[in-house]
Amino acid sequence: MAQLNFGGVIENVMTRDEFPLDKAREILKDETIAVIGYGVQGPGQALNLRDNGFNVIVGQRPGKTYEKAVADGWVPGETLFGIEEAAERGTIVMCLLSDAAVLAVWPSLKPHLTAGKALYFSHGFAITWSDRTGCVPPADIDVIMVAPKGSGTTVRSLYLEGRGINASFAVEQDATGRALDRTLALGIGIGSGYLFETTFQREAVSDLTGERGSLMGAVQGLFLAQYEVLRENGHTPSEAFNETVEELTQSLMPLFAAKGMDWMYANCSTTAQRGALDWMGPFHDAIKPVMQQLYASVKSGNEAQISIDSNSKPDYREGLEKELTALRESEMWRTAVTVRQLRPENN
């Protein structure tokens, strides 16, 4: 494992050069990897492992998601089973259910987590807040995590492009003495670009903060605020959307993703440079207190409890769909549909 210097902080990082796929296959050659849940992360990780030559089975309840698994080539009775049977057959049980589903399934899953097995997560939620979720693993199994830094769709698409998504890894419980090897082998097996070390607790807190912050919640709030100000001052929907979202996602994000914000600034007009440098401070000062409040809410377990309470309501899906429909039908995102259709690749 390499130790890399990130701005004066030393971190443990594993790459495919140091831990090649052949080594991962050798470590897991006698394992049966049971992927439990075929929703968000399940398909990408399961398909990548299968394509990389590992012994993989899927556990999924009957329904549309089960039919999707069949369509992806998983064979009922051979590589596709119910959740409990897959967990019984697996020596590594990859719990890739949603946080809400983990709570519901845990009582029937736990009896199949027998001595020497490994319980794998891609999110630290259930274990970090086990006092709230009730997910307390047996002491005689490994409890491990590989958390891709992106959606399950991206896990698969980057793998098919020959690239790979970055992921964090953690060992919460090492009952066999092989937990770290199992973890790294699975990380390489699902196609990770590189793996950086964390803990279940740090991953859970940073992940919830990111989702509510710059990755989803804050970015929507920022977009909407700017869009509304432009519209309130007479700018058309097309102009407001292009200046708020389209230019950022289609032009500027690729620049700072490739070489950093400083390089992106240096490749914009002098007017844009001056304005960005002058206004980044006021935005930082306005936003940081909100981020501090958000982090405190996550760290205390309050956000986890809100999620648990919300997901436990019998009408949760109906309420969620109403909120998502309102978002989708807002003027800004209805404008987005038209703008996307007008992109050159669509004409």
End-to-end CA separation in angstroms for the chain: 48
123 counts as catalytic = yes
Q: How far apart are CA 115 and CA 51, in angstroms?
A: 28
d(CA 194, CA 182): 16
Per-position DSSP letters for 248-269, written without gaps between them? IIIIIHHHHHHH-HHHHHHTS-
DSSP secondary structure string, 170-210? EEEE-SSS-HHHHHHHHHHHTT-SEEEE--HHHHHHHHHHH
Structure tokens given for 215:
């990755």
Q: Provide the β-strand partners of residue 3.
A: 12
One-letter amino acid for residue 24 of the chain: A
Q: Residue 4 forms beta bridges with which residues?
A: 11
List active site positions.
123
